[in-house]
Amino acid sequence: MGDALAVATTGAVRIRNDVPPRFRPPAPPRHFVGRDAELARIRPGVTLVHGPAGAGKTALALKWLRERGSGNQLCVDLATGDLGALLRAFGLEPDPQDESAVFRSLVTRRQFTLLLDGADSAEQVTPLLPASGTVLVTSRKKLGIGQAQEIEVEPPADDERLRHLLDLSYVELPERQARLYRLCAWQPGAFGVPVAAAIAGEPECDVEDALDDLVEKSLLTEVGDYAFRFHDLVRAHARTKR
Ligand SMILES: Nc1ncnc2c1ncn2[C@@H]1O[C@H](COP(=O)(O)OP(=O)(O)OP(=O)(O)O)[C@@H](O)[C@H]1O
Ligand SMILES: [Mg+2]
């Protein structure tokens, strides 16, 4: 059989050179944490990343692509994606029965590192795999895909999830609140506004507003009249910040 891409592009068709934006892998989560062991295990060739819903499979794949993958990358959302639409975005319009073959030769020819995200079955994936190159497949199921190496993604433990949520709140804090959060965490037990103001070296009225803001954001607990304390896990988080 000839090169399906060559057949699909005879005549006046021109293949688009850059990757259409909706098929570029998006950035990984800004506050990506952990997964060092899993990231280190992903090698060239086909890798199946499997695990339960929401465990972090897509995030892991996107992190690897961004930091360790080669430059030419293509992302196909298998849950919603339609191969025909992808090929059309490249300027290709093969007959429906030729789509997989044209896709494979496009990937091979352009040496795309491929993310096939959200696969439901091996039958859905196998026809899309190029003969060589690097492919990440994510799935909630442990699909049997030929030579694929398999990486299981376990959902994060509760304390990891909490740390992540705290990080999300922390990075959004205005500077005064962030500084108070870091400094007051070294204060054992409950503390009042005057103590916090002394630690921070700032006027009490500013410090009071900032502490109220931390309470509103669930990073600090108000105990009694104008006394505050950290939950132990939050204090531990705050003490990791510089
Ligand atoms: N290592 C991580 N660090 C920070 N956030 C993460 C991490 N892993 C996942 N998340 C966040 O958790 C949520 C779920 O992750 P993700 O979408 O990767 O799950 P999934 O396993 O692909 O789920 P699904 O099976 O539904 O596709 C997302 O909001 C993602 O940003
Ligand atoms: Mg996913």
Residue 7: the pLDDT is 60
10-residue stretch averages of pLDDT, the chain, 242 residues long? 61 70 88 88 95 92 94 90 88 90 92 94 93 94 91 84 86 96 94 96 96 92 88 90 90
Residue 2: the pLDDT is 54
Which sign does the torsion angle of CA 43, 44, 49, 54 carry?
Answer: positive
Per domain, the residue ranges of the chain are: 4-152, 158-239
From atom 9 of ligand 1, which residue's Cα is the shortest distance away? 56
Ligand 1 atom closest to residue 55's alpha carbon, by position in its atom list: 21
Ligand 1 atom closest to residue 29's alpha carbon, by position in its atom list: 31
Q: Domain 158-239 belongs to what topology?
A: Arc Repressor Mutant, subunit A (1.10.10)
Residue 113: the pLDDT is 95
User: Pocket residues for ligand 1 (CB within 6 Å)?
Assistant: 29, 31-35, 51, 53-59, 118, 138, 140, 164
User: The tokens of 46 are what?
Assistant: 């086909």
- How many angstroms separate the alpha carbon of residue 42 from the centre of ligand 1? 17
Residue 54 gets which letter from DSSP?
T
- How many angstroms separate the alpha carbon of residue 225 from the centre of ligand 1? 40
Quick check: helix, strand or coil at residue 49? strand
CB 57 within 8 A of CB 50: yes
- How many angstroms separate the alpha carbon of residue 140 from the centre of ligand 2? 8
CA dihedral 50, 52, 53, 59 (to 10 degrees): -50
Ligand 1 atom closest to residue 28's alpha carbon, by position in its atom list: 31
Ligand 1 atom closest to residue 59's alpha carbon, by position in its atom list: 18
Residue 34: the pLDDT is 83
Residue 1: the pLDDT is 47
From atom 23 of ligand 1, which residue's Cα is the shortest distance away? 54
* 4-152 is classed CATH 3.40.50.300: yes
Distance CA 200, CA 183 (A): 7
Residue 33: the pLDDT is 79
DSSP for 132-158, please give it: SS-EEEEESS----TT-EEEE-PPPPH
Quick check: helix, strand or coil at residue 211? helix
Q: Tens of pLDDT along 59-98?
A: 999 999 999 998 899 999 998 878 898 999 899 988 889 9
Residue 121: the pLDDT is 93
